[in-house]
């Protein structure tokens, strides 16, 4: 059953099409579904739409709303419908009907008429156009879209709209959109000189500039240290592997579309692939010698750079790249150890996420589809134990979670954790996946206390997800204002005049000696301009130094977003900022 809002949104797309028909009687209509926040409609038009067309179309839609037109449904033979649309030159609709006849063997189709616009549509719709509030929708943008999403077909014009139940909901949504636009990591990435994607290098491949490289280095070394404290061992594995490896792992069967095409060893003709994930390499290390139950659990972590072929249209800056570094870990344990290891993995994730002031973590547990148990590999009993163990761990920790029935991969249940950023958007980052496929596919084993061979349990676990994506999340979450401990430049010292430059450099070197990242801004600019630049670059602390400060070893301190903190002794400032860095503020 479609919900009301979806029905309302889809109905608005009919009104948009009717408005377009009014301006362009020769318009050809493709499809017009509801979306997450509104609707769109694809048109084939005699001219390219311009943004100025949108308010005109909106006005026409409002007129149609005022007329309170009914959505009249008729059902006719599909043959007859084809003829009707053929005659009207609506060949996209003809193609859609032919498709319905072929794939769903329909003989009859339903048409909906609103004013003079007739559409092929299954519905449902609102009863009358007046149910759409004239001030609760908005046409948002125009984009190109291939007919049926294929580059081989004609490029159509897609008009996106928003539609809500009332004006207040629409306005709130527009505010959130505006806030998201301001925080877009691609925009901030340029403003703060953080990263580039170069057409020459290739789409989806990230070039990390020095400042963001430093943020990543800080995250990674913290991550490594926390792993070591928890008994993990760091390993390195290659970027490429033979076809044979990916055949055994099942990637060539199930994941090939997301892998870059192979290349050949020129001597042996052997086929190789870039790795889309590191797991099979870790398995091979495990298998390099016999293992005893005494060695388990094994915990290996790696920052593994992987490559996945994402479609061009799906790329999104650093949030959805083609080359990315996973903060990967594999935990290989006995079934008896599973509960403890799972609990520890969740606690680890919580420890790390505690440092970023995210609003909330949301937990989604993907389990099997109870009506389709046959599509999963592994012993059903092991699945049951695994699923109930994970639930027990979550419940014991008092964690609320949602169950996604049928969401599990074919090889095991997964716990996906979504984080809510500063403006309430969900981002999927950490995940723990239990794997019943790889250990048996690769013949992983350990000798148990009974002297027999057993198959271990394998957990895949990432905390950040990928360094690229996580940094994109951080940029958007903090709107570029990284907390002091992560800020690539923590302090700028700003001499007021030329004669204060040497004192400024002296302050900088005492900060540097305490590992504080500092820069002296001694360009020949007014102090006001330097302060503004520091604010734009979101520097946590600006230290202004002039005659007064120079005389008594003081710094006039400005904290980001809080204006003046007044003057203080240099050592006092050093103690303050060191404390903040230590506490990850």
Where does this chain bind Zn ion (CB under 5 A)?
121, 279, 460
Q: Classify residue 479 as exposed, middle or buried by CB count within 10 Å of its CB (0-12, 13-18, 19+).
A: middle
When the beta carbons of 14 and 82 are compared against Zn ion, the nearer one is 14
Task: Please state whether beta strands 240-242 and 453-454 pair in parallel, antiparallel, or not at all (unpaired).
Answer: unpaired
Q: CB–CB of 550/556 below 8 Å?
A: no
d(CA 210, CA 188): 15
Q: How far is the CB of 102 from Zn ion (least distance, A)?
A: 21
Task: Please state whether beta strands 457-466 and 323-333 pair in parallel, antiparallel, or not at all (unpaired).
Answer: antiparallel
Q: How far is the CB of 119 from Zn ion (least distance, A)?
A: 6
Residue 460: CA count within 13 A, CB half-sphere: 25
Which residues in 90-146 belong to E strands, given as ranges?
108-114, 117-120, 137-146
Q: How far is the CB of 100 from Zn ion (least distance, A)?
A: 14
Residue 118: helix, strand or coil by DSSP?
strand
Q: How far is the CB of 108 from Zn ion (least distance, A)?
A: 16
Q: How far is the CB of 459 from Zn ion (least distance, A)?
A: 8
When the beta carbons of 411 and 503 are compared against Zn ion, the nearer one is 411
Q: CB–CB of 207/189 below 8 Å?
A: no
d(CA 506, CA 488): 21
Q: How far is the CB of 292 from Zn ion (least distance, A)?
A: 23
Query: Tokens 């400060």 sit at which residue?
Result: 549
41-45 long-range CB contacts below 8 Å, 24 or more apart? 41/13, 41/16, 41/17, 41/158, 41/159, 42/145, 42/147, 42/156, 42/157, 42/158, 43/17, 43/156, 43/157, 43/158, 43/159, 44/92, 44/147, 44/154, 44/156, 44/157, 45/20, 45/157
When the beta carbons of 15 and 494 are compared against Zn ion, the nearer one is 15
Q: How far is the CB of 158 from Zn ion (least distance, A)?
A: 16
Q: CB–CB of 272/241 below 8 Å?
A: yes
Angle at 452 between CA 446 and CA 453, to 5 degrees: 35
Q: How far is the CB of 424 from Zn ion (least distance, A)?
A: 30
Helices (H), 71-118: 78-87, 91-104
Q: How far is the CB of 95 from Zn ion (least distance, A)?
A: 17
Q: How far is the CB of 180 from Zn ion (least distance, A)?
A: 29
When the beta carbons of 121 and 188 are compared against Zn ion, the nearer one is 121
Q: CB–CB of 6/132 below 8 Å?
A: no
When the beta carbons of 458 and 518 are compared against Zn ion, the nearer one is 458
When the beta carbons of 192 and 279 are compared against Zn ion, the nearer one is 279
Task: Please state whether beta strands 233-234 and 298-307 pair in parallel, antiparallel, or not at all (unpaired).
Answer: parallel
When the beta carbons of 279 and 338 are compared against Zn ion, the nearer one is 279
When the beta carbons of 240 and 585 are compared against Zn ion, the nearer one is 240
Q: How far is the CB of 73 from Zn ion (least distance, A)?
A: 10
Q: How far is the CB of 355 from Zn ion (least distance, A)?
A: 24
When the beta carbons of 325 and 537 are compared against Zn ion, the nearer one is 325
Q: Which residues pair with 316 in a beta bridge?
A: 320
Q: CB–CB of 30/42 below 8 Å?
A: yes
When the beta carbons of 109 and 121 are compared against Zn ion, the nearer one is 121
Q: How far is the CB of 11 from Zn ion (least distance, A)?
A: 7
Q: CB–CB of 43/30 below 8 Å?
A: yes
Other C-beta atoms lying within 10 Å of the C-beta of residue 6: 17
Residue 578: partners with Cβ closer than 8 Å, 6 or more residues away? 514, 516
Distance separating the N- and C-terminal Cα atoms of the chain: 47
Q: CB–CB of 540/559 below 8 Å?
A: yes
Residue 180: helix, strand or coil by DSSP?
helix
When the beta carbons of 251 and 477 are compared against Zn ion, the nearer one is 251
When the beta carbons of 459 and 474 are compared against Zn ion, the nearer one is 459
Q: How far is the CB of 58 from Zn ion (least distance, A)?
A: 19
């Amino acid at each position: 059953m479609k919900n009301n809002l979806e029905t309302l949104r889809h109905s608005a797309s009919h009104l948009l099409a009717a408005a377009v028909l009014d301006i362009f009687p020769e318009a050809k209509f493709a499809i017009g579904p509801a979306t997450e926040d509104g609707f769109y409609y694809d048109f084939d038009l005699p001219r390219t739409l311009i943004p100025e067309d949108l308010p005109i179309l909106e006005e026409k839609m409002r007129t149609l709303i005022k007329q309170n037109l009914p959505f009249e449904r008729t059902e006719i033979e599909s043959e007859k419908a084809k003829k009707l649309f053929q005659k009207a030159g609506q060949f996209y609709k003809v193609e859609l009907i032919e498709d319905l006849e072929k794939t769903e063997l329909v003989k009859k189709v339903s048409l909906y008429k609103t004013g003079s616009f007739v559409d092929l549509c299954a519905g449902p719709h609102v009863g009358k156009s007046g149910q759409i509030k004239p001030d609760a929708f908005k046409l948002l943008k125009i984009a190109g879209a291939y007919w049926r999403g294929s580059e081989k077909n004609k490029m159509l014009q897609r008009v996106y709209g928003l539609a809500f139940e009332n004006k207040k909901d629409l306005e709130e949504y527009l505010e959130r959109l505006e806030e998201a636009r301001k925080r877009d990591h691609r925009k901030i990435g340029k403003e703060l000189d953080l990263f580039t994607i170069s057409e020459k290098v290739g789409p989806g491949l990230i070039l990390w500039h020095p400042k963001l490289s430093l943020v990543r280095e800080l995250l990674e070394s913290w991550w490594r240290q926390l792993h070591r404290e928890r008994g993990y061992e760091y390993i390195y594995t290659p970027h490429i592997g033979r076809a044979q490896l990916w055949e055994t792992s099942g990637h060539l069967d199930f994941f090939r579309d997301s892998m870059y095409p192979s290349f050949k060893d020129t001597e042996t003709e052997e086929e190789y692939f870039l790795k889309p994930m590191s797991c099979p390499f870790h398995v091979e290390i495990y298998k390099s010698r016999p293992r005893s139950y005494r060695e388990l659990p094994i915990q290996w972590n790696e920052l593994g750079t992987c490559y996945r072929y994402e479609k061009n249209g799906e790329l999104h800056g650093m949030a959805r790249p083609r080359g990315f570094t996973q903060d990967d870990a594999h935990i290989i344990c006995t079934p008896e150890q599973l509960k403890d290891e799972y609990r520890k993995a969740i606690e680890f994730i919580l420890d790390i996420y505690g440092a970023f002031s995210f609003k909330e973590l949301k937990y989604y547990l993907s389990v099997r589809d109870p009506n389709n148990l046959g599509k999963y590999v592994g012993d059903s009993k092991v699945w049951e134990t695994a699923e109930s163990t994970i639930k027990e761990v979550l419940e014991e920790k008092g964690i609320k979670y949602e169950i996604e029935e049928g969401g599990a991969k074919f090889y095991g249940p997964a716990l996906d954790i979504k984080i809510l950023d500063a403006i309430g958007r969900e981002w999927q980052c950490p995940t723990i996946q239990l794997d019943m496929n790889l250990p048996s596919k690769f013949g992983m084993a350990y000798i148990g206390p009974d002297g027999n061979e057993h198959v271990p349990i394998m957990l895949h676990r990432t905390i950040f997800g990928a360094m690229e994506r996580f940094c994109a999340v951080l940029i958007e979450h903090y709107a570029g204002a990284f907390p002091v401990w992560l800020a690539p430049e923590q302090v700028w010292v700003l001499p007021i005049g030329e004669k204060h430059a040497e004192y400024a450099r002296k302050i900088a070197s005492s900060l540097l000696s305490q590992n504080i990242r500092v820069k002296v801004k001694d360009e020949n600019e007014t102090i006001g301009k330097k302060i503004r630049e520091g604010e734009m670059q979101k520097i946590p602390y600006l230290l202004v130094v002039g005659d007064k400060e120079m005389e008594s070893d003081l710094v006039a301190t400005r904290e980001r977003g809080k204006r003046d903190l007044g003057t203080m002794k240099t050592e006092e400032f050093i103690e303050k900022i060191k404390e903040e860095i230590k506490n990850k503020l």
